[in-house]
Structure 1
Amino acid sequence: MKKTLLSFSLNEQFLPSKTYAIKDQITLIDKPLIKSHVSESFKSDETIAIICLKGKIKGNINFKSYESQNSSMIIILSNQIVDVEYVSKDFKAIFIIMSNQFSQDLAIDERFRVFMSIQKNPCVTLNELERQSLIEYCEIVKKTILNHNNPYSLKSIKHITKAFFYGFGYHIHITGNLQHQKQQQEILVEKFLNLLQKYYCDQREIGFYSNKLNVTPKYLSKIVKECSGISAVRWVENHVVIEAKSLLKFTDLTIQQVSNKLNFPSQSFFGKYFKRLEGISPSNYRNSQ
């Protein structure tokens, strides 16, 4: 039976649990009981951090397999596709769900490098100091949310989160020289990736993005490759293929309808594009799921 791709929902994923939330900006769920059914799939609309304290969880993020056990952390970025395959009965974790607005308001320096680090490795093992520091951060957030008389609670939590990152969290997800200031090239790549997230279903030509960024296609391709290690063309292809896989796996759209939705000139062109990148035809991929 074909799975259904849902938006992330607290009610769908968890039994009633102690939840701490403020203005739909940040939600903290302390060791919730996950519903007994597994093999759930959803597309994240927000950033979700899962601090695994005990047990095991297995699944896929953007169709890549990951496994997380006690003393580890998973970060799921907005618009990523998550397929949960297994959750052990003794699984315990703290879930932190941050809206896109909350994440943007943090205005973290080295944001691009953190983003790239999470893209490459969303699941990291924590040592005891890292684990305890994250738990302490969560306790401070909970106490701040519970202080209903404080009109600056949300602002306080943003500052606490930013301070936590600069004081400790950067150890977990960052690479390279921390003294290096964000370069204009990295800002350009961030803008490219933001545009790509918005237009990839309709626009696959690098010239479209370079035109919007007021640079040449050659320059954009060069900078994207230098900063991210992945070519601009490959970034586009990755986005298109992930969306194609999602539509093939989680919907009943025909191959022609998937082709149309992704703005390919024909089903044949889409089939060749998909097979070139994945080594399998769209129909065979669908039948294998």
Structure 2
Amino acid sequence: MTNNDKKEQNIDYDFILGKGIADYSDGDLVIIDKIGAKPIEGTVKLDMVLMIYCKKGRIQGDINNKTWLAEEGDVVICLPNSYLNNYMMTPDFESKIIGLSYNAIRHNIPMTKDALDLLSYVAKNPIIHLDLERQALINKYYSIIEHKVQHPSAYFHKEIMHSIFTCAVFELCAIIAPHVNYTRDGGTMKQANLLFHKFIDLLAKNEGRTCSVKKYAEELCITPKYLSFISKSVSGKTALEWIHEYTVKAIERYLKHSNLSIKEIADRLGFPNLSFFGKFTKNYLGVSPTEYRRQQSMKKEVLEVHTKV
């Protein structure tokens, strides 16, 4: 990060341990009783799965440049490579938080076609609303987890904790599943799913920098045509559409949450010149980079006035 950037903090397993806020940790799974009262300034990038169960009050914040509000009984699911900022809580806010490390996700979650569809839904809909019956069920799971934290087993403690957590996750998946539009291909697409998952990983690591389909295909040791084919088959969008989507998200993030100049943003994202960057931004955001930043600044000022009132 340059000195012109507003503070951006990566949140991962080690960060949480370093803060000393975990009530339980075992190398992959962390449990936190509550969020600190003082929000982290600037932008937060998650390098883990974070699930926040709202026990009381409300929390509002931006997840990947979209504002979300969670209330009592809601579960907020933030996936790896999500960007969080501008979050605020009501004074009576209480929560239970569970985090899973990035490595544990890759080893424990099979990237089947249905799983990719479900993850795609959660990425766009991070707030899960629970009715009273399901709130009671999640509270029971957490009570078991809390009991095991306070009374750890002499043997297989980590395995027990992960098993309870996995059951709770599948309960949430069962709640989400009816809302997901699953796509079917009439047979197995295991290899295509794996390649697509690797492609998305590369996009996330590239952090929105412009790159050709050919470049990503070379890194995956496949042809550009085949990369676009599997991307369209698995997700419904071409590889180029995915590349542009990540670039647009990065542009929005830098224009809204950094002090980088327009030229510095264009250079950081690999655009050949300001003219091309301006045309690309206007094509996807509807206005020039300067105008978009001005509009976002005005919205923030209005929000701050309403918050103070």
TM-score normalised by the chain length of structure 2: 0.78
Partner residue of 1:250 out of 247, 254, 257: 257
Corresponding pairs, count: 283
The answer to whether the aligner puts 1:104 opposite 2:106 as a matched pair is yes
- Taking the aligned partners of 2:291 and 2:193, their CA distance within structure 1 comes to 39
**Does the aligned pair in 1 maintain the 2:11–2:45 contact within 8 Å?**
yes
- Taking the aligned partners of 2:109 and 2:221, their CA distance within structure 1 comes to 24
The answer to whether the aligner puts 1:117 opposite 2:121 as a matched pair is yes
- Taking the aligned partners of 1:70 and 1:182, their CA distance within structure 2 comes to 39
Indicate the residue corresponding to 2:86 in structure 1: 84
Higher helix share: 2
**Does the aligned pair in 2 maintain the 1:17–1:33 contact within 8 Å?**
no
- Taking the aligned partners of 2:214 and 2:80, their CA distance within structure 1 comes to 26
Secondary structure of the structure 2 residue equivalent to 1:172: helix
Secondary structure of the structure 2 residue equivalent to 1:35: coil
Change (3 A) 1:45 1:37: closer
Deviation readout 1:66-121 (Å, 9 max, x if unpaired): 11111111111122111234422222221112211222232345432332121121
Secondary structure of the structure 1 residue equivalent to 2:226: helix
Indicate the residue corresponding to 1:157 in structure 2: 161
**Does the aligned pair in 2 maintain the 1:20–1:29 contact within 8 Å?**
yes
Structure 2 counterpart of 1:170, which letter? C
Deviation readout 1:192-243 (Å, 9 max, x if unpaired): 1112222354452112222333433233223322322333222111211222
**Does the aligned pair in 2 maintain the 1:275–1:282 contact within 8 Å?**
yes
Partner residue of 1:7 out of 10, 15, 27: 10
Structure 1 counterpart of 2:9, which letter? L
- Taking the aligned partners of 1:189 and 1:169, their CA distance within structure 2 comes to 24
The answer to whether the aligner puts 1:135 opposite 2:135 as a matched pair is no
Change (3 A) 1:182 1:20: farther
- Taking the aligned partners of 1:217 and 1:9, their CA distance within structure 2 comes to 33
**Does the aligned pair in 2 maintain the 1:7–1:44 contact within 8 Å?**
yes
- Taking the aligned partners of 1:85 and 1:96, their CA distance within structure 2 comes to 18
Secondary structure of the structure 2 residue equivalent to 1:7: strand
The alignment's C-alpha RMSD in Å is 3.2
Structure 1: which 5+ runs fail to align?
none
**Does the aligned pair in 2 maintain the 1:39–1:86 contact within 8 Å?**
no
- Taking the aligned partners of 2:250 and 2:238, their CA distance within structure 1 comes to 19
TM-score normalised by the chain length of structure 1: 0.83
Change (3 A) 1:18 1:277: closer
Partner residue of 1:20 out of 15, 20, 23: 23
Structure 2 counterpart of 1:188, which letter? L
- Taking the aligned partners of 2:267 and 2:35, their CA distance within structure 1 comes to 41
Secondary structure of the structure 1 residue equivalent to 2:176: coil
Identity of aligned residues (%): 24
Secondary structure of the structure 1 residue equivalent to 2:76: strand
- Taking the aligned partners of 1:191 and 1:37, their CA distance within structure 2 comes to 33
Indicate the residue corresponding to 2:44 in structure 1: 42
Partner residue of 1:170 out of 164, 169, 173: 173
Secondary structure of the structure 1 residue equivalent to 2:163: helix
Structure 2: which 5+ runs fail to align?
298-309
Change (3 A) 1:191 1:36: closer
Secondary structure of the structure 2 residue equivalent to 1:252: coil
Indicate the residue corresponding to 2:245 in structure 1: 238
Change (3 A) 1:39 1:71: farther
Structure 2 counterpart of 1:111, which letter? A
**Does the aligned pair in 2 maintain the 1:38–1:84 contact within 8 Å?**
no
**Does the aligned pair in 2 maintain the 1:50–1:95 contact within 8 Å?**
yes
Partner residue of 2:192 out of 172, 179, 185: 185
**Does the aligned pair in 1 maintain the 2:281–2:288 contact within 8 Å?**
yes
Structure 1 counterpart of 2:28, which letter? Q
Structure 2 counterpart of 1:287, which letter? R
Indicate the residue corresponding to 1:53 in structure 2: 55
**Does the aligned pair in 2 maintain the 1:41–1:82 contact within 8 Å?**
yes
